Structure 1
Amino acid sequence: MRIDLRSDTVTKPTKGMLEAMFTAEVGDDVYKEDPTVNELERRLADLFGKDEALFFPTGSMANQTALKLHTNPGEQVICDKYAHIYNYEGGGASFNSGISCKLIDGDRGMFNANQVVAAINPPDFYHSPLTSLVEVENTTNKGGGACWDFEELKQIRKICDNHNLGYHLDGARLWNALVNTNESPQDYGQLFDTISVCLSKGLGCPMGSVLIGDKELMEGAIRVRKILGGGMRQIGYVAAAGLYALDHHVDRLAEDHHKAKEIGKILEQMSIIKKVEPIETNIIIFELESHVDETEFLRQLSDHDIHIIGMGSNKLRMVTHLDYTDEMHERLLDILDQF
């Protein structure tokens, strides 16, 4: 039995999702004539209380488009040092938009309003880049699936308003945060100018992300998507997977969170584990004791057909997901317990 906990991106479509995909009504989305894509975009715009939404093949492309919409070349975006847009999008901020990142030394990928104020460059000081955007990520990937305090996000919104800054949310795992907290999509829609949400992680779709935002900003989104090579044709087959996931795969995310916390409890009891980061959602980040060889630890897990991610410096990551079954879970707990 292969147990793959490298990421929640490794899932495959369920039978119900495949049926929805095979029976989807499609058209040419470049001409905006794919009814299933149009339905998905309308549904997500309405869900977040925004004017418009646009389907993208990847979350990175959706985020990169948002950066382009909010900024001009030579300007700067404020984000955490762990931010996906800085660490895992191939340097796209500089390559695609000609902007730089002002990195905040936050806590598990999260920062506070005072840190934002301190990071803003004086607009009349022409020696430094003009600050034009604040970007946050919820949940935080490198922060171990941590969920932002919504009150802090509201305080940052006030800072953005006071300094005429854009506010973008990388919501790759926002669905996990919503299931774990009391906030609603409408709450986030009222707070952020643009939001990217991923369909191919916790929701289990084979691909796809959607950028959601206010009309004034989103008017240029389809042009940027085209420039980045994201114009697609009969993509309704994939959009149908997104619609199915919204109906069937959101509430079940709580199961992934529960399993992640159970794994964390076992890890905390193991003498070779130095630290387990707090677990709120479906990501478990833990650190081995200094005398333990990370490569050997990964090899021993692999011998049991268990696959996780090594992050370097003796830190490792597991991510629970739709295809991680109860049977797999019990087997993993047994093996860790016997380590």
Structure 2
Amino acid sequence: MTTSPIDLRSDTVTLPTERMHEAMASAPLGDDSRDGDPTVKRLEALGVERTGKEAGLFLPSGTMANLVALLAHTGRGVEVLVSAGSHISRTEMGGVAGLASLFHRELPAPRGAIDLEALRESLSPGLAHNRLATGLVAIETSHNDAGGTVPSLEHMGAVQKLARERGVPVHIDGARLFNAAHALGVPASRVASFGDSVGFCVSKGLSAPIGSLLCGPAAFIDRARAFRRMVGGNLRQAGVVAAAGIVALEEMIERLAEDHRRAKELARGLAALDQSFSDPRDVETNIVNVDLSRHARPSPEWALALKERGILVGPTKPKRIRLLTHRHIGDGDVERALSAFREVHARFAGGTPAHAAS
């Protein structure tokens, strides 16, 4: 009997629940780009309720939610300030420049939290001394590249205060907003309160098959709706997927705690194997970055060796692997993954090729 692989590459691999399938099959539908789809409207209202904002907009993806937010907040040719390693600057195919005609500047961001002094020095309310005007500041939480870290409430408040003093809006890229809120022990609306707008996914750990919500002031969402059409994001009977998003927000948020616990267990097991791999204290949500910098083999070789043992991982840098827990990962899967890491660690320490049989 073949054992199914354990997929730790991302929480985007999650599949819809049975309740989601049922909701999708029975959802009331309409043309969302004309009179509105009733199920989409219900999801948008639920997103507004969860974030404490005035209005919401359903979009196909988090990348499009960020792009539309940039367009709705700014004018062309201004600067967007983002954290180093942010999803907006590193993982969205340059849409900030290629589609929105904006410049972006990465600011130092230890553990994903923008350095406040760098932010203070970079904020520019208007064209002066050959400097671009700052059109937007973007906070990412949880911070993907930093390993699922979550800026503190105090830090986000300080970012918001600095931006407001210069008349600059703040957008929160909260693709994993509910993971961040759980890590902080607060409602998602508390995290969202530090941004003029917030975007979050109903896929990933929440397990809906598709979709993100962008929430903010009504006038902002009106502009965002127009930009959604411009970039091809209008959908017709979108309730067929929005229905799963409703189930995600009603039933899947509380269980994120299990993903966080298992990520901690992974980190502890890896640290017990090799202290250089991971510091469990750095794991705040469902992402574990495995540091391979003290090992000779590059991350793709580790990924191949682990794959041969039924463990799928993401080599995100030459000497780094990323692991994400999600609802398809159980306690036994964590132990199986750690066992595979122990095998590969022992083989590589002994100089055995990556493709050697286990």
TM-score bracket, shorter-length normalisation: over 0.9
Shift of 1:162: 0.7
Deviation of the 1:10 alpha carbon: 0.6
**Match of residue 291 from structure 2:** 287
Equivalent position amino acid for 1:282 in 2: N
Shift of 1:151: 0.8
* Equivalent residue, structure 2, for 1:302: 307
290-299 or 43-52: bigger deviation = 290-299
**Structure 1 gaps, min length 5:** none
Correspondence for 1:320 among 309, 325, 334: 325
Deviation, structure 1 residue 180: 1.6
- 1:109–1:189 distance in 2 versus 1, CA, 3 Å: closer
**Over residues 20-49 of structure 1, what are the superposed CA-to-partner deviations in whole Å (9 max), with x where a residue is unaligned?**
111111111111421110001011112222
Moved more, 74-83 or 295-304: 295-304
Q: Is the 8 A contact 1:66 1:168 kept in 2?
A: yes
1:223 is aligned to 2:226: yes
Task: Name the TM-score, length of structure 1 as normaliser.
Answer: 0.95
Q: Map 1:103-252; keep pairs closer than 5 Å.
A: 103-121=106-124, 123-125=126-128, 127-252=130-255
Say which SS state the counterpart of residue 75 (structure 2) adopts.
coil
8 Å Cα contact 1:60/1:89 also seen in 2:
yes
> Taking structure 1 as reference, are residues 46 and 122 closer, same or farther at Cα in structure 2, changes over 3 Å only?
closer
- Aligned with 2:338: secondary structure? helix
* 2:333 maps to amino acid: M
Post-superposition Cα deviations, 1:219-266, rounded to whole Å, max 9, x if no partner, equal 211110000000001110111101101121101001001111111111
For residues 300 and 51 of structure 2, the distance between their equivalents in structure 1, rounded to whole angstroms, comes to 43
Range 233-242 or range 28-37, more displaced: 28-37
Partner Cα separation in structure 2 for residue 111 and residue 275 of structure 1: 25
Let me know the Cα RMSD of the aligned residues.
1.5
Shift of residue 126, structure 1, vs aligned partner: 5.2
Cα 1:292–1:176 shift into 2, 3 Å: same
For the 8 Å contact 2:71–2:100, the answer to whether it is kept is yes
Secondary structure, counterpart of 1:220 in structure 2: helix
Percent pairwise identity: 34
Residues 112 and 151 of structure 2 are in contact (CA less than 8 Å); yes or no, is this contact kept in structure 1?
Answer: no
Amino acid at match of 2:309: H
> Can you give the 5+ residue segments of structure 2 that lack an aligned partner in the other structure?
345-358
Does structure 2 conserve the Cα–Cα contact (< 8 Å) formed by 1:57 and 1:208?
Answer: yes
Q: Distance in 1 between matches of 2:71 and 2:242?
A: 24
Aligned partners of 1:173, 1:103: CA distance in 2, in Å?
Answer: 21
> CA–CA distance in 2 between the matches of 1:226 and 1:274?
48
